[in-house]
């Protein structure tokens, strides 16, 4: 493996860490209805755990309401149970045809809790990025030890790995700040 390949792999892994952070943050509700909140919920569909969005249509008719219309009416109870047992903290309204989810206004305490959760996810992403940098630098040092690169190439590669890390951490900070702003919006 060359230095170029090591750095390219590190960049790819760092980008994946940022994408995972984005997906984790989308699952945090910010007081508005967003169908992505239901992506992690699975429903028992004839004995098979199936993602909720594969069992029916999910729509957002209003800013604070989501409607789930299952393709089979007999799935209403299973969907309702899956939502109640999820960490969303929502109480579904089942009218026999569709399930309505009403998103209440977030109070100040809940906003602070959600902001802490966002910071936790951001810190986890930063730790992952730093671990990727460490792995890349170790691989470069191994190349140097095996006499496959010069000391100057090693130092340049370590600087490049640090630049990739700095760029990824800046992106993580931007994603985290945007989500915190969305949560704190009244």
pLDDT winner (highest mean) among 36-45, 104-113, 130-139: 130-139
pLDDT for 70: 92
Q: Give 93's contacts (C-beta < 8 A, 6+ positions apart).
A: 99, 100, 101, 102
Residue 17 pLDDT more than 90? yes
Longest dimension (CA), the chain: 71
Measured distance CA(31)–CA(5) in Å, rounded: 43
| Residue 31: band (very low, low, confident or very high) from pLDDT cuts 50, 70, 90 | low
Q: Which residues pair with 48 in a beta bridge?
A: 45
Q: What is the mean pLDDT of residues 64-74?
A: 90
Measured distance CA(123)–CA(139) in Å, rounded: 24
Residue 121 pLDDT more than 80? yes
Q: What is the mean pLDDT of residues 136-143?
A: 93
**Whose CA is closest to 143, among 153, 134, 133?**
153
Residue 114 pLDDT more than 90? no
pLDDT for 30: 66
Residue 71 near residue 59, CB atoms below 8 Å:
no
Q: Would you state the structure tokens that stand for residue 19, as one six-digit string?
A: 């994408």
User: CA triplet 88, 90, 91: central angle to 5 degrees?
Assistant: 150
Mean pLDDT of the chain: 89
| Residue 138: band (very low, low, confident or very high) from pLDDT cuts 50, 70, 90 | very high
Residue 148 pLDDT more than 80? yes
For the chain, which domains are there? 3-26+107-184 (1.10.132.20), 35-102 (3.30.1360.40)
pLDDT for 104: 78
Phi then psi for 112, rounded to 5 degrees?
A: -65, -40
| Residue 7: band (very low, low, confident or very high) from pLDDT cuts 50, 70, 90 | very high
Q: What is the mean pLDDT of residues 92-118?
A: 86
Neighbouring CB atoms inside 10 A of 52's CB total 25
Residue 115 near residue 143, CB atoms below 8 Å:
no
pLDDT for 131: 96
Residues of the chain with pLDDT > 70, as a percent, come to 98
| Residue 111: band (very low, low, confident or very high) from pLDDT cuts 50, 70, 90 | confident
Look at phi and psi of residue 89 and say left if phi exceeds 0, alpha if psi is from -120 to 50, else beta.
left
């Amino acid at each position: 493996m060359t230095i170029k390949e090591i750095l390219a792999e590190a960049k790819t892994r760092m980008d994946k860490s940022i994408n995972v952070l984005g997906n984790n943050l989308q699952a945090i509700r910010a007081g508005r209805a967003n169908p992505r909140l239901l992506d992690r919920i699975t429903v028992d569909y004839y004995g098979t755990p199936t993602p909720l969005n594969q069992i029916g249509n999910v729509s957002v008719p209003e800013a604070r309401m989501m409607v789930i219309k299952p393709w089979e009416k007999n799935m209403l109870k299973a969907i309702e149970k899956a939502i109640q047992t999820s960490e969303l903290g929502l109480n579904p309204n089942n009218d026999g045809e569709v399930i309505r989810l009403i998103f209440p206004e977030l109070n100040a305490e809940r906003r602070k809790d959600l902001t802490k959760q966002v910071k936790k996810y951001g810190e986890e992403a930063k730790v992952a990025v730093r671990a990727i940098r460490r792995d890349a630098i170790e691989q470069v040092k191994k190349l140097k030890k095996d006499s496959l690169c010069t000391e100057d190439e090693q130092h340049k590669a370590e600087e490049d790995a640090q630049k990739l890390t700095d760029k990824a951490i800046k992106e993580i900070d931007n994603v985290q700040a945007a989500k915190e702003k969305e949560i704190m919006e009244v």
